[in-house]
Amino acid sequence: MIRKNIIFVGLIFLFIFNFIGGQALQELPERLSIIENDSSIFNLSFPGALHLLIDKTDLIEINGESLNEKLITVDSSRITLKGKNTGETDLYFKLFGLIPLRRVKLNVLPSVSVMPGGQAIGVLMRTEGVIVVGRAVVYGTKGNRYSPARKQGIEPGDILLSVNGTKIKSKGHLADLIQQFGKQAENLNFIIRKKSGALKEISVNAVKNKDNQYLIGLYIDDGIAGVGTLTFYDKKTKEYGALGHVIIESHSKSKIKLKDGRIIEASITGIQSGRNGIPGEKLGAFYPEANILGNIKKNCDFGIYGKLERPPVNNYFKEEIPIAAISEVNKGPASIYTVIEGGDIEKYKINIDRVYQQGYPSSKGMIISIVDKELKSKTGGIIQGMSGSPIVQNGKLIGAVTHVFINNPLRGYGIFAEWMLMETNIYNNRQFKAAN
């Protein structure tokens, strides 16, 4: 009986120990990146002996030592990982070398340096086809009310690609096509890309109004223009990243399906300061046919990307600086670079309040707060148009400003530079295939 009680108590002890140990390792993401020849430190507060099984021992050093064996015992309260060679391996944390606690996929990335941005840019994008931004009532020749597009299920956010076999080039082109085909036959056969991404054929009856104009009851748009901030660019490839978040159509809240676009040198002409409940905004001016900086090839969840025709100037940085891995980002002081007046970049103090050790891409990787008195007085905090402003900490580009807290404009989110870099071909051009 005593022996059974001892075994029972022992099993309970192991369960509690295993549970506490597993909780201590939860701060490690499922996927972890470090930079070749750089070190990242992890404080785990693990309550006992911890064993680590490594698939590829030549990729990393642990606590300053090269690995000769796949299974090693480590100082469980503090682990320093240093990248030796690029590649990917699995790390298995085990209790007593037997009981699995956590598996981490480790990616050793090459050291990459880029030029930080901060420049104000005008963003011009044209959509594929035309995007539906609203619906309207059509009044017929006798004053009757019709809703032809709504009746057939066309919704804001849908993209009209063609009508009666003709590709739609712009909203003006569609207006002409509706008049042309409306006179020939009331039925207009549209190919539509729904918000879900699915293609659908929808037939709509055009209605003639008292002015002999044919209408289908839609408000449409074919592009977007706005002001943002350049985050970084690569001197070798001329690739850039900007904004740090997706561009959406303001009415339908749908992602812009990019047909083509360009970024243009912009000048900030005024500021609408932010306050609780009301986001502020940069007011910018740019000329679509002049001062073109480059094209736009991608609009995704982590910003816009393309190639520069000419590199812009940043007086704070004469040379490229390294991009930090997520594991290198720490709570504490940092700086952002952005334009508040005219075209000159200024440096402002911020604080990193929280860091999310993400294993998978997200545009909200850290919480930042504005501490710079000058920036507070000029803008009230983070404002629209500041998206993409590079964040630099300890001489490395760690990310970009993306979102503001509506009820507290002094605080907001930032995206990690590592995720933005993954949207470019910069790693591949350095003969490395990013596992992320």
User: Is residue 80 within 8 Å of residue 99, measured between CB atoms?
Assistant: no
**CA separation, residue 291 to residues 224, 266, 270, 318 (Å):** 18, 8, 20, 22
Query: Rounded distance, CA 288 to CA 175, Å?
Result: 24
Q: Would residue 245 show up in a list of annotated catalytic residues for this protein?
A: yes
Burial 122-152 (b: 16+ CB within 10 A, else e): bbbbbbbbbbbbebeebeeeeeeebbbbbeb
Query: What is the helix (H) or strand (E) element at residue 120, kind and residue range?
Result: strand 120-135
Q: Would residue 403 show up in a list of annotated catalytic residues for this protein?
A: no
Question: Which of the residues 51, 245, 252, 363 is marked catalytic?
Answer: 245
Burial 85-118 (b: 16+ CB within 10 A, else e): ebbbbebbbbbeeeeebbebbbbbbbebebbbbb
Q: Would residue 387 show up in a list of annotated catalytic residues for this protein?
A: yes
Question: Which of the residues 76, 252, 387, 389 is marked catalytic?
Answer: 387
Question: Which of the residues 260, 301, 344, 372 is marked catalytic?
Answer: 372
What spatial distance separates the first Cα and last Cα of the chain, rounded to whole Å? 54
How many C-alpha atoms does 365 have within 13 Å on its Cβ side? 30
Catalytic residues: 245, 372, 387
